[in-house]
């Protein structure tokens, strides 16, 4: 421009001035119709790096860079040959192999034949502009490559009007359109409605410069989207970048992890256990929330310092707990001693903790994982069980009898698990001895009761039913106790039979029962006697009275004196009969009431001899044979009056009721049966039909034979005497064969 | 009133049978009175005349307390004999017994029409015989 400033404009040289101006601003060249260079200005030489002389006369294609194709030149030449102006951008080659871009205008100068004579070309250097364009294009290409290869999602560049400028990524594999299809389109045609809505909503924030990240669920996948504003070099907002990452897999994994953690927490809650985890080096304990709940602490604050946790522990247990932890760290034990925790509300609970040292931990960083259980209730139950066991044992000991629990192994072996204190009193054996050998208990059972005892015991064992048995036990000094035992057998797999046995002293009850039985017998006996008495009154006393009253009635009504005398005469035997019966009754009542009657030792032989002598006449008359055998019992302890009466009556009967068809034989014998003596008097006389007369045999005024002397008193009085001495009398008889009378004497 | 042809009195008490016979005779309701001293004799007699309607009694007055076979024993045998008898027989127990046991026992035996306690007056016999003839 220095040169220009020196230029003076003169009228008439306008043409010249244009040329000068052109020369200064443009690269100018003139070629002939064949393209040979005829003129170049300085700028031409400068840019092409050729000297003018090197260019003049040369064809213009010396500068051809090879960048443009044939069509390009064809178009150029076609245009200018027709005489039209061609404008375009051409890349040329410098002398030294460089290149430059020029904005070119070629003006053909036509001759009169309308053929071009020469061509004028004006060029402006646009190399710099062209170079930056190329650079930009390359950048876009690289960006596209980057976008296309974005894995696991997509990346996009978006302008503030939400047009997609650039996009790509593996995420497009999942959709039915390609990145090329959507570039230039607005986001609503590409994104899911909810994503688009989200962006619309948050766009102002993005454009203000915020980076926003959010998660969305679309097309059955989880995505994490990030929007970040971008600025150009000058700091002007250009748009924003959207990065979409498919997080479905990691989401799934984290969901599973979360679920597992939840399940673990539920498990802890259900099991009422807690877990913890210690980092010995950081002196920190991480608790599960359930652990904190069990400890009565805030379940949300999971990380606690040693010092804080230490305060929760009962002061008396702190020492043993820290000792325990030290040993766990040195891997000596895996279990803490039980310890108490005082909850914030003051409640004291007992805990037990098991733990394991993480073997992967090194000495610098020791990790211990453990579980924790509240055992307060269990401890309490254990204590209660212990107490109730003690109570039961106290109760059992206070029972005045034997309470025993023992196991039978096989046939011979047995082991006592428990025996009460009361056993000593009943069995009169020290408890310790019983514990050593159960046979001490059963060996005391009375010999007579043993068969029944063993039978019922083994039956209960085999049928697994309750055993109940009453038996006697014999003490060392010979005293006898009655025992009632109840036992429950229970088969225990692999152990044998478990017996629970309770045995009580029932001697007093037995005695009472015996008394009752005795009294019952007495009452029954007396009742029978009363009934007999009623019968006697009804029949034996009333009949003479009835007769008397009837006779008196007849006497009163009779008008005939002789008839009256006849009735009076009949009164006499009636009154005599009544008197006789009355005397007999008195006699029998005397026997029943006679407490004074005294037993004596009687020479039986002598007694019999006296009686027989009384019957001499009858014996001689019937030619009876009487045999007596008192060899077993020569002496009997009995009231003499009764014995002679009994013998007299029975022998008298035998003589009275002898058979006319055979010689009478009477056998009299006394035999001894331990403490009793049995008298038998057997005859071969008429006999009695006992089927008919069994019940009346010993009743007063009952006769069974048509014998003039039969009165029905002998057997009655005999029975009264036998009964009075607590003995028994009975008979066996076959009609026309004979009878045997039995008399049993007690206390001999 | 229809008279009774045969009446059997079973009792071992001679005074009673003597007086009873006299009383019944005075009522003139019975043609023939037979007295037997115990149950066994009575059974033997009934067996003997079982097919003889003329001799079979219409009424038996039965004592309880008798030797050899008492009234109860007689009834046991009578029950066995009854199907073989040509005639229905009305049995009255006539006894000195005031024992409720005897009364209950007699009531339980359907063959016994009534239980009469001695002494029996003339009018008592008349009622008894009237009832018997009605039956």
Which CATH number is A102's domain given?
3.30.450.20
Question: What is the Cα–Cα distance from A591 to A594, expressed in whole angstroms?
Answer: 5
CA dihedral B121, B123, B127, B129 (to 10 degrees): 70
* Strand-pair partners of A64: A92
Strand, coil or helix: what is A273?
A: strand
Does some domain include residue A493? yes
**8 Å CB contact of A543 and B68:** no
A711 interfaces chain B, CB cutoff of 8 Å:
no
In tens, the pLDDT along A597-619 reads: 788 999 999 999 999 988 888 88
A:B CB pairs within 8 Å: 69
Which of A350, A374, A398 is the last residue in one of the domains?
A374
- pLDDT at residue A282, as a whole number: 79
Q: B13 vs chain A: nearest CA distance in angstroms?
A: 8
Taking the Cβ of residue A552 and every Cβ of chain B, the question of whether any pair is shorter than 8 Å is answered with no
Assess whether A485 and A614 both reside in one domain: no
List, in order, residues 6 or more apart from A119 with CB less than 8 Å away: A30, A31, A32, A33, A35, A80, A106, A107, A108, A109
Instruction: Answer yes or no: do A610 and A683 share one domain.
Output: yes
Within chain A, which residues score under 70 in pLDDT?
1-12, 331-333, 359-365, 411, 595
Interface test with A, best of B65, B73, B94, B98 (most A CBs within 10 A): B65
Domain boundary among A343, A374, A405: A374
Q: Do A570 and B16 touch (CB under 8 A)?
A: no
Residue A412 placed within a domain: yes
> Sheet holding A676-683: strands in order across?
A625-629, A665-673, A676-683, A738-745, A728-734
Q: For the domain that residue A566 is a member of, what is the CATH number?
A: 3.30.565.10
Q: Give the count of domains, chain A.
A: 5
Residue of A692, A702, A704 best to disrupt the B interface, most CBs of B under 10 A: A692
* Residues 566-625, chain A, touching B (beta carbon < 8 A): 570, 573-574
Q: A588 and A730 in one domain?
A: yes
Q: What is the pLDDT of residues A410-462, one digit of tens each?
A: 767 788 888 888 888 888 988 888 888 888 888 899 999 999 999 999 899 88
Chain B residues closer than 8 Å to A536 by CB: none
Q: Are residues A390 and A324 in the same domain?
A: no
Contact A649, A718 (CB under 8 A): yes
Please indicate, yes or no, whether residues A137 and A105 belong to a single structural domain of this protein.
no
Order the strands of the A480-492 sheet from edge to edge: A413-419, A401-409, A496-505, A480-492, A467-474
Domain-located, residue A605 = yes
Task: Mark whether A241 and A263 lie in a shared domain.
Answer: no
A179 part of a folded domain: yes
Is residue A513 one of the residues assigned to a domain?
Answer: no
Nearest chain A residue to B63, by CA: A539
Residues B119, A550: C-beta atoms closer than 8 Å: yes
- Which residues, including other chains, have CB under 8 Å from residue B135's CB and lie 6 or more apart? B90, B113
Q: CA of A404: how far to CAs of A109, A398, A401, A421, in Å? A: 144, 13, 10, 10
Contact between A704 and B96 using a beta-carbon 8 Å cutoff: no
Q: Residue A1's pLDDT is what?
A: 40
Residues from chain A that touch B16, judged by Cβ atoms under 8 A, are 543, 546-547, 550
The CA distance from B84 to the nearest CA of chain A, in Å, is 22
pLDDT at B135: 55
* Domain co-membership, A559 together with A412: no
Does A692 sit within 8 Å of B73, measured CB to CB?
A: yes
Let me know if residue A628 belongs to a domain: yes
Of B33, B40, B80, residue with least CA distance to B59: B33
Chain B residues inside the 8 Å CB shell of A707: none
**Is the domain of A651 the same as that of A554?**
yes
The alpha carbon of residue A401 and the mean position of all alpha carbons in its chain are separated, in whole angstroms, by: 38
Q: Residue A614: which domain range?
A: 526-745
Judge if A629 and A682 occupy the same domain. Answer: yes
Residue A90 within a domain = yes
Residue B43 clears pLDDT 90, i.e. is over it: yes
Parallel, antiparallel, or unpaired for β A37-40 and A27-32?
antiparallel
A687 and A561 in a common domain: yes
Q: With an 8 Å Cβ cutoff, is A385 touching chain B? A: no
> Which of A246, A265, A286 is the C-terminal boundary of a domain?
A246
For residue B134, the model assigns a pLDDT of 63
What 8-state DSSP symbol labels residue A596?
-
Average pLDDT over residues B86-112: 89
Contact B69 A692 (CB under 8 A): yes
Question: Are both A194 and A338 inside the same structural domain?
Answer: no
Co-location of A44 and A93 in the same domain: yes
Nearest residue, CB atoms, B16 vs list A546, A692, A701: A546
Alpha-carbon gap: A553 to the closest alpha carbon of chain B (Å)? 9
Nearest residue on chain A to B97, judged by CA atoms? A538
- Rounded to the nearest integer, the mean pLDDT of chain B is 89
In a domain, A511, yes or no: no
How many angstroms away from the CA of B98 is the closest CA of chain A? 5
Question: Which chain A residues touch B95 with a CB distance below 8 Å?
Answer: 538-539
Is the CB of A553 inside 8 Å of chain B's CB atoms?
yes
Is A550 within 8 Å of chain B by CB?
A: yes
Q: Do A546 and B98 touch (CB under 8 A)?
A: no
């Amino acid at each position: 421009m220095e040169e220009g400033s020196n230029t003076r404009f003169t009228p008439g040289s306008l043409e010249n001035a244009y040329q000068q101006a052109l020369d200064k601003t443009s690269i100018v060249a003139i070629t002939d119709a064949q393209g040979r260079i005829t003129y170049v200005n300085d700028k031409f030489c400068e840019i092409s790096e050729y000297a003018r002389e090197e260019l003049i006369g040369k064809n213009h294609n010396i500068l051809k860079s090879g960048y443009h194709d044939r069509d390009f030149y064809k178009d150029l030449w076609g245009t200018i040959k027709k005489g039209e102006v061609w404008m375009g951008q051409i890349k040329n080659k410098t002398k030294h192999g460089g290149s430059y871009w020029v904005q070119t205008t070629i003006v053909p100068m036509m001759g009169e034949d309308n053929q071009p004579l020469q061509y004028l070309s004006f060029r402006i250097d646009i190399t710099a502009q062209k170079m930056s364009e190329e650079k930009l294009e390359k950048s876009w290409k690289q960006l596209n490559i980057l976008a296309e290869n974005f894995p696991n999602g997509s990346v996009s560049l978006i302008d503030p009007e939400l047009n997609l400028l650039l996009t790509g990524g593996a995420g497009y594999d999942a959709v039915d359109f390609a990145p090329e299809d959507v570039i230039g389109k607005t986001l609503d045609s590409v994104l899911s409605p909810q994503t688009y809505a989200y962006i619309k909503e948050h766009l102002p924030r993005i454009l203000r410069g915020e980076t926003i990240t959010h998660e969305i669920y679309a097309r059955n996948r989880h995505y994490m989207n990030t929007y970040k504003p971008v600025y150009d070099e000058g700091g002007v907002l250009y748009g924003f970048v959207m990065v979409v990452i498919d997080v479905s897999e990691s989401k799934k994994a984290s969901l599973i992890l979360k679920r597992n953690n939840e399940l673990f927490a539920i498990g802890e809650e259900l099991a009422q256990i807690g877990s913890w985890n210690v980092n010995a080096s950081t002196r920190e304990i991480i608790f599960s929330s359930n652990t904190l709940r069990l400890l009565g602490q805030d379940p949300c604050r999971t990380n606690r310092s040693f010092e804080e946790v230490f305060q929760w522990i009962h002061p008396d247990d702190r020492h043993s707990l820290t000792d325990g932890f030290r040993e766990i760290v040195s891997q000596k034990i895996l279990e803490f001693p039980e310890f108490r925790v005082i909850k914030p509300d003051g409640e004291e609970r007992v805990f037990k903790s098991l733990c394991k040292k993480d073997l992967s931990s090194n000495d610098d960083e020791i990790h211990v994982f453990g579980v924790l259980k509240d055992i307060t209730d269990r401890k309490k139950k254990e204590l209660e069980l212990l107490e109730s066991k003690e109570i039961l044992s106290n109760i059992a000991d206070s029972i005045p009898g034997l309470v025993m629990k023992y196991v039978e192994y096989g046939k011979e072996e047995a082991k006592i698990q428990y025996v009460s204190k009361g056993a000593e009193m009943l069995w009169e054996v020290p408890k310790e001895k019983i514990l050593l050998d159960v046979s001490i208990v059963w060996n005391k059972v009375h010999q007579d009761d043993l068969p029944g005892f063993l039978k019922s015991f083994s039956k209960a064992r085999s049928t697994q039913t309750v055993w109940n048995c009453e038996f006697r036990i014999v003490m060392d000094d010979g005293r006898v106790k009655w025992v009632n035992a109840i036992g429950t057998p229970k088969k225990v797999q692999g152990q044998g039979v478990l017996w629970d046995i309770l045995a009580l002293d029932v001697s007093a009850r037995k005695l009472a029962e015996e008394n009752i039985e005795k009294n019952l017998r007495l009452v029954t006996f007396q009742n029978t006697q009363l009934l007999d008495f009623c019968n006697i009154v009804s029949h034996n006393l009333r009949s003479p009275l009835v007769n008397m009253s009837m006779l008196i009635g007849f006497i009163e009504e009779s008008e005939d004196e002789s008839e009256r005398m006849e009735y009076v005469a009949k009164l006499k035997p009636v009154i005599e009969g009544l008197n006789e019966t009355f005397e007999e009754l008195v006699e029998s009542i005397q026997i029943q009431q006679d407490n004074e009657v005294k037993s004596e030792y009687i020479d039986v032989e002598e007694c019999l001899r006296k009686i027989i002598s009384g019957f001499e006449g009858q014996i001689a008359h019937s030619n009876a044979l009487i045999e007596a055998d008192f060899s077993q019992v020569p002496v009997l302890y009995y009231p003499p009056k009764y014995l002679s009466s009994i013998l007299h009556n029975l022998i008298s009967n035998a003589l009275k009721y002898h058979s006319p068809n055979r010689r009478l034989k009477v056998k009299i014998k006394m035999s001894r049966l331990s403490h009793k003596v049995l008298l038998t008097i057997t005859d071969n006389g008429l006999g009695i039909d006992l089927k008919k007369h069994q019940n009346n045999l010993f009743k007063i005024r009952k006769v069974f034979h048509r014998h003039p002397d039969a009165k029905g008193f002998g057997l009655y009085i005999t029975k009264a005497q036998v009964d009075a001495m607590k003995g028994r009398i009975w008979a066996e008889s076959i009609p026309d064969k004979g009878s045997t009378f039995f008399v049993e004497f007690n206390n001999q | 009133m229809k008279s009774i042809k045969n009446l059997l009195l079973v009792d071992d008490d001679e005074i009673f049978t003597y007086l009873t016979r006299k009383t019944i005779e005075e009522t003139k309701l019975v043609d023939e009175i037979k007295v037997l001293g115990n149950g066994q004799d009575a059974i033997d007699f009934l067996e003997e005349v079982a097919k003889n309607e003329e001799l079979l009694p219409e009424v038996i007055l039965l004592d309880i307390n008798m030797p050899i076979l008492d009234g109860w024993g007689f009834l046991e045998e009578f029950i066995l004999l009854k199907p073989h008898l040509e005639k229905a027989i009305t049995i009255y127990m006539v006894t000195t017994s005031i024992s409720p046991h005897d009364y209950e026992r007699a009531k339980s035996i359907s063959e016994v029409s009534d239980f009469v306690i001695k002494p029996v007056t003339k009018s008592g016999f008349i009622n008894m015989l009237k009832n018997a003839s009605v039956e």
